A and B are shown apart, each in its own frame.
Chain A
Amino acid sequence: MAKDARDSWGSPMEFVLACVSYAVGLGNVWRFPYLCQMHGGGGFLIPYLIMLVLEGVPLFYLELAIGQKMRLGSIGAWTAISPYLGGVGLASVVTSLYLCLYYNIINAWSFWYLFHSFQSVLPWAVCPANSNLTGPLEECEKATPTQYFFYRETLNISPSIEENGGLHMGQALCFLLAWVITYLFIVRGIKSTGKVVYFTATFPYVVMLIYLIRGMTLHGALNGVKYMFTPKMEELANPTTWINAATQIFFSLGLGFGSLIAFASYNQYHNNFERQAIIVSFINSGTSIFSAIVTFSIYGFKATVNYETCLERYISFGAAMAVEGAGLAFIVYSEAIKNMPLSQLWSVLYFVMLLLLGMGSMLGNITAIITPLRDFKVVARISDEVFNGGVCLLCLLLGLGFTTTSGNYWFTMFNDYGATFSLLFVVLIEVIAVSYIYGIRRFEKDIEDMLGHRPNWYWKIMWAGVSPLLLICLFVFYVVNYIQGGTPTYQAWNKDLGKSEQTEYPVFGQAFIGLLLVSSVSCIPLTALYVFCQRKKHAQQHKQQLTVNTVAA
């Protein structure tokens, strides 16, 4: 019956575009260019591409295979692999939930900047006058107009995480809009998502191409590109370079959230996902490199024209880019845009691109929550529209906390701790479970069933050996870093000095970080324990019944 049959993509193209739209996100535009120049320009591409081959593509393939074979969301799929591993799926759902809560805030900021671009003078280009009109506002003068616009007008940020004002109404409205649009895109499940991704996956490339042409025609652009591509080979000896490359590949592909499993579960059984996995992974990395070229051509222009000497000033500016969080990238990019002629047009284009990238990723994030939950019979009875609306409403209400005056600090906390450590753990368990608990042989046979041929030796070596080893290294590195780092800190905006200061998290903040980490990771052992107890109970009951029957007989 049509009602019981699973939804499916309109065409394999929709699936590929959905994966591209999900994987290509804000990190490709912001984090990769920063990592590139921090680790020796062109030389960084070597560890980056090596990690793509060793870790990125095999793990991507693995998740797609599981989803397409089991035809269930992450919870159902992992329960099918082994009943004790249902917790892996649950951990993915919890992590996706955290991500959904805070990710749409970035889209809200993009909307805010987009709407403010429709003015004759961009509001972040000049400082507003103070109350007696004698000069610019103090806070704005001490910082820069772009920083002021972000911290004061966009966020109205409080001095620390402990102090909280109320909601920032403008932010809250943009946040509401972001969720309403997300709902519109997923209202009918993948039937609607499949149509939307034609646009969200392709239009950002149009904008990036326009920016590339614009960037290349700017004076001094080639200096920036030359700088970026001049390899500094000595960086390759630094282990941090390799770790950062591995981490970037890992997070950029969006592994472990369950989105890929969810998307693949709607595929036709014999869909050739092997080719699609390779295509999407390479498109993702290619986009990172492409956006790095665009970014550096624009920086080259800025540095050459305004500062005459060198990129160093912008390198230090850019060095702060990823370290201090997504927000700083709004400041850095809007700074570059305001100096271009026709800056309103460029601003609109840029923020539309950010929105499409962000929305595309949100589609994957929210599908990762909805698909596994819909596998439960209790939920399947509720109609698509109502259930999806319920999930969006819940995330909207919980996420409103990020639009308060201290909201950006909570956002940074979620961004740094909500999905990093737990994902590494989840994917490590995933790859070990498939390779050793489910068994490579069984997995091979499943793939042969779906594709018609077995995966060759390269894939098997990666799944069984290389990728788990790499993940263990990353995992150990993160743990050591976390312990060595001492008390976790965040950047608090000091309005009197007009800059950010490193501040330690208060006790409740640290406790919350611990809660974030534990709540997702603990799903795995707790579920295993729960299933174990349930089985023991059933076994006991079954035994009792047998004895009763024999007695009766």
Chain B
Amino acid sequence: MFYKIVLFLCLPSVLAEQLCKPNAPDGLKVRLSIKTALDSEAYEWNRNEKFLFQATIAFAMSQYTGQEFKVSNILVCDETPRVSFWFVVTSPANLSQLMSKGVVELAVRKFRNRINNAFLLSDETLEFVGVLPTLASPVEPATPPWLIVFGVMMSLVSAGIVFVLVSTVVQNKRKRKQKRDDQDDDEETRVKTVENGCDGVYNTSFSEDEPNTRM
């Protein structure tokens, strides 16, 4: 009886070893570069960190597929001290069946940010070999910023042009008014002289319609 219990207990680990091996068709290799990323604040990779990893993958798989995954569904093997390892995900329904690599990849990609943050790492330092990184979706403001600056410049310049044109028109009007005033003054003085000095003959060769002599 005792031996049966021992065998039963050993079975999952034996199975695990068989399911999880390097270059397994449905396995994914993970490489962590903790020292590179965190330098002096680097943490040691130990069993508890591995547990956290399994938990995050289980979280990602559960969120993505809707099925409930437990830490025991995530099998890790071939660990190296530089921190790299292989893992496979078993189906919660059938412990001897693996989830396909494609599904695992998609789940990881979708929640990559959450997984990275759990370990204070980034896409480059927590590498899932073969899985393309998911770039942050670009933030696009409603109005592109360049258009705003353009709008400001254009309004300033247009205002400048309007100002110059208006001032030119005003100046011209003022000049014309002054010219008319000068003309009126000249006519008045001429009328006066005609009235006062009627003895002389008015010299008509002095042109009347050009009160200002052309230079």
Contacts and interface: CB of A to CB of B under 8 A. Distances in A.
B157 A181 contact: yes
A133 interface: yes
Contact of A134 (B135, B136, B149, B164): B135
Nearest to A114: B149
Interface in B132-147: 132-138, 145-147
A115 interface: yes
B141 to A, nearest CB: 10
B133 A134 contact: yes
Contact of B150 (A133, A174, A187): A174
Contacts, number: 61
Contacts of A116: 145-146
Given A181-B157, A183-B161, A188-B168, A133 B137 contact: yes
Q: Interface residues of A: mostly helix, strand, loop or mixed?
A: helix
A184 B161 contact: yes
B145 A118 contact: yes
B134 A133 contact: yes
Given A129-B135, A177-B154, A180-B157, A187 B164 contact: yes
Interface string A429-465: 0000000000000000000000000000000000000
A135 B153 contact: no
Interface in B20-62: none
A134 B109 CA distance: 9
B136 to A, nearest CB: 8
B130 to A, nearest CB: 12
B150 A192 contact: no
B158 interface: yes
Q: Interface residues of B: mostly helix, strand, loop or mixed?
A: helix
A187 B214 CA distance: 28
Classify chain B's interface size: 20 to 34
Contact of A135 (B133, B146, B147): B133
A118 B165 CA distance: 32
Contacts of B136: 129, 133
A192 to B, nearest CB: 7
Contacts of B12: none
Contact of B165 (A111, A133, A135, A187): A187
A135 B164 contact: no
Interface in B94-150: 132-138, 145-147, 149-150
A417 interface: no
Nearest to B109: A134
A119 B164 contact: no
A155 B201 CA distance: 80
B172 to A, nearest CB: 9
Contact of A133 (B135, B164, B214): B135
A144 B43 CA distance: 37
Interface in A1-44: 1
A180 B158 contact: yes
B160 interface: yes
A187 B166 CA distance: 12
Interface string A175-209: 00100110110011000100000000000000000
B214 A1 contact: yes
A173 interface: yes
Contacts of B164: 184, 187-188, 192, 385
A173 B151 CA distance: 10
A112 interface: yes
B23 to A, nearest CB: 24
A409 B101 CA distance: 49
Interface residues of A, number: 25
A47 interface: no
Contacts of B146: 112, 115-116, 118-119, 170
Given A134-B132, A134-B133, A135-B132, A115 B165 contact: no
A184 B165 contact: no
B215 interface: yes
B215 to A, nearest CB: 6
A159 interface: no
Contacts of A128: 138
A19 B160 CA distance: 25
A526 to B, nearest CB: 38
A187 B161 contact: yes
B128 to A, nearest CB: 13
Contact of B215 (A1, A111, A184): A1
A155 to B, nearest CB: 15
B160 A184 contact: yes
A129 B215 CA distance: 72
A188 B166 CA distance: 12
Given A180-B157, A184-B157, A184-B164, A135 B135 contact: yes
Contacts of A174: 150
B176 to A, nearest CB: 12
A174 B136 CA distance: 31
A188 B145 CA distance: 33
A415 B132 CA distance: 45
Contacts of A187: 161, 164-165
A180 B164 CA distance: 13
A2 to B, nearest CB: 9
Nearest to B141: A119
Given A1-B214, A177-B157, A187-B165, A115 B138 contact: no
Nearest to A384: B168
Contacts of B149: 114-115, 118
25 contacts: A111-B150, A114-B149, A115-B147, A115-B149, A115-B150, A116-B146, A118-B149, A129-B136, A129-B138, A133-B134, A133-B135, A134-B135, A135-B132, A135-B133, A135-B135, A173-B150, A177-B157, A180-B154, A180-B157, A181-B157, A184-B157, A184-B161, A188-B168, A192-B164, A385-B168
Interface of A: 1, 111-112, 114-116, 118-119, 128-129, 133-135, 170, 173-174, 177, 180-181, 183-184, 187-188, 192, 385
The 8 closest A-B pairs by CB, nearest first: A115-B146, A134-B132, A129-B135, A115-B149, A133-B135, A116-B146, A184-B161, A180-B157
Given A129-B137, A385-B164, 14 more contacts: A111-B153, A115-B145, A115-B149, A128-B138, A133-B137, A134-B133, A135-B135, A177-B154, A180-B158, A180-B161, A181-B157, A187-B161, A192-B164, A385-B165
